[in-house]
A and B are shown apart, each in its own frame.
Chain A
Amino acid sequence: MTYREALREGLREELQRDERVFMMGEDIGKNWGGAFKVTKGFVEEFGEERIRDTPISENTIAGAGVGAAITGMRPVAEIMFGDLITLAMDQICNQAAKMRYMFGGQTSVPLVLRTVFGGGKNIASHHSQSLQAWFMHTPGLKVAVPAFASDVKGLIKTAIRDPDPVMFFEHKLVYDKKEDVPDDEYLIPFGEAKIRRAGEDVTVWATFRMLHQAIEVADELAKEGISVEVIDPRTLVPLDKKTLIDSVVKTGRLVLVTEETKTGATTAEISALVQEEAFDWLDAPIKRVNAPDTPIPFSPTLEDYFIPDKKQISNTIKSIV
């Protein structure tokens, strides 16, 4: 099953299970089924009331999600492209994130905000960014970063049942990745990283498409006698520090790989964290593989240069082993 199909399954099961769950976003309904076809067929199955096309009003899509969440619904709001989340930042970062705290625990905001991000489709600066770090930096939000089909299904179900606001990130080049997905209903708890590949010499912590590439690199390096342990955080908030630190203690080396621009990326935070908590076990400097600090270019040759690739990951690992 593809990542897209698994996500659709997870959403469908929750819509069937709980009538408080509804979805809203731009063109998620019958004419398109979402820009990436995740919700294709949902209007026919659940109706226009629950699968709700909205006007192009990002701030109010997010804010209406907040209002519905605090009055007894379980909204899943969609911002079509992650870059457009900038238009909804007030509702996400000032309202959804702070409401429970600011009101002294009087309310919770069980809102899931789905969005897609990432480069690789030649659609330039306004449709390709990776903004996870902004939300990791905002207290009060949970942040899910599923990279595999089996995870996306279990994590979306957990997100919908979670009492707090969840930023649910999907990567546009991961939608077609296939993986076996269990038939039975299952949930994946937040804050539990997964060791995607066990190894002894170096730990690689990566997300989304870079995670898939890191696993391929690890397989190749195994042939050269380098044993790489690959960790998939699955959620950034809450963050599974233990799995990461345990791995670094075992291998003594860490490479962090994401598609984000480098300065202030999630990898910067993880690097600082490991340095604080596992410095004594490090046998080499922590290395980061990120995109350069530029907006995302359009031309395929430029974009290919911008996004980190397997060679960069491989060379970086080799530089500290």
Chain B
Amino acid sequence: MMDVTKETLEDLYTQTLKVRLFEEKVWEVFGRNLIPGTLHLYLGEEAVAAGVSTALRESDWIQSTHRGHGHVVAKGADMKRAFAELLGKKTGSCKGKGGSMHITEFEAGILGATGVVASGLPIAVGAALSAQLRGTDEVVACFFGDGASNNGTFCESLNMSAIWKLPVIWVVENNFYAMGTPIKQMCPSQSIARRGEAYCIPSQVVDGNNALKVYKAAAEAVERARNGEGPSLIECQTYRKKGHSRFDPADYRPEEEEEEWLSRDPVEIITNLAIEQKALSKKKAENIRKQLQEQVDEAAEFAINSEHPEPEEALEDVFAEVA
């Protein structure tokens, strides 16, 4: 088993908590009716984004999904610009043209969050192919859900990544529900990892609420990818704290199941681990929390106080050059 430094444990704590606090703030601001449209909150799944992004370098790429806030914040997107994008403001990372489902910051190595389930996988293939052709050791981590693994692009993209030994990490966030449909009904083996194995891709299941376990699996996969040994698949089993989106109370989930999962809180798990292994004192943990809370509050204030775009800006950015 891989040794993990105290610095890494501290990073995992920080990343997990950062995503948590960001999402809690988003939920609060949403409750004040300041966020248009809908939201797919990442609450409960923080350990996946935190574990994977901690295993990546700044120069690596991630491909995100409609439930993407956690991915982009963990990968290092500017929280002010990210928050402003959720409010559709001019200062948002997408100038208010993307919103929650397309929250993206290219400079932070984010290829894009997509609102079409499973459509990020082919893009990750291309980015990884590009990394290989350009002769870099960049790695691409592609997040997607259990539901996406039922789409044709899953088959096409895993296959292509395997035949070309592309530096991709397929990160499945198996939260057991595709919107409201349980995986039991939609996947005969109920195992996405087994599907990965069918493409000769080393695949494993990890506890997706434990950032350390996600990190270890991701770090191994990153190493394999950088060494030219090709793709890996990590099935992170996790759970949404809330429903699929704004309008979903998730009342279809059995109470016992909810209780069991929600009792295993990703932030508590990594906090306890970091303190047990003396990577953090309670005091330091608290200091980090305070700092993060300040940053998140600032981001929300920045977003709320930012200007809306001018209506005519709707006509900009269709093409790189004026036609």
B31 at the A interface (CB under 8 A): no
Closest to B123 in A: A67
B267 at the A interface (CB under 8 A): no
Contact in complex: A105, B98 (CB < 8 Å): no
Q: Would A59 and B104 be within 8 Å (CB), given that A73-B130, A108-B320 are in contact?
A: no
B134 at the A interface (CB under 8 A): yes
Residue numbers in B under 8 Å from A57 (CB-CB) = 156-157, 159-160
| A60 to B162 alpha-carbon distance, docked (Å) | 13
Stretch at the interface among B113-121, B185-193, B205-213: B113-121
Closest to A49 in B: B133
Contact in complex: A101, B126 (CB < 8 Å): no
0/1 string, B59-75, CB within 8 A of A gives 1:
00101000000000000
Residue numbers in B under 8 Å from A106 (CB-CB) = 93-94, 104-107
| A95 to B104 alpha-carbon distance, docked (Å) | 14
| A73 to B122 alpha-carbon distance, docked (Å) | 15
Contact in complex: A100, B122 (CB < 8 Å): no
Closest to A53 in B: B163
Contact in complex: B102, A59 (CB < 8 Å): no
Contact in complex: A104, B61 (CB < 8 Å): no
Contact in complex: B130, A67 (CB < 8 Å): yes
Measured CB to CB, the closest approach of chain A to B200, in angstroms, equals 14
B92 at the A interface (CB under 8 A): yes
Q: Choose among B92, B130, B319, B320 the residue that contacts A104 (Cβ–Cβ < 8 A).
A: B92
B323 at the A interface (CB under 8 A): yes
B318 at the A interface (CB under 8 A): yes
Residues of B near any A CB (own CB < 8 A) = 61, 63, 92-98, 102, 104-107, 111-112, 114, 116, 119, 121-131, 133-134, 140, 152-153, 156-157, 159-160, 163, 316-321, 323
Residues of A near any B CB (own CB < 8 A) = 22, 49-50, 54-55, 57, 59-60, 62-73, 75, 90-91, 94-95, 99-108, 139-140, 142, 163-164, 190-191, 237-238
26 A-B pairs with CB atoms under 8 Å apart are: A54-B160, A59-B152, A59-B156, A60-B122, A60-B153, A64-B122, A66-B123, A67-B126, A68-B130, A71-B126, A71-B131, A73-B129, A73-B133, A73-B134, A91-B122, A100-B317, A100-B320, A103-B93, A104-B93, A105-B95, A105-B316, A108-B320, A139-B318, A140-B318, A142-B319, A238-B323
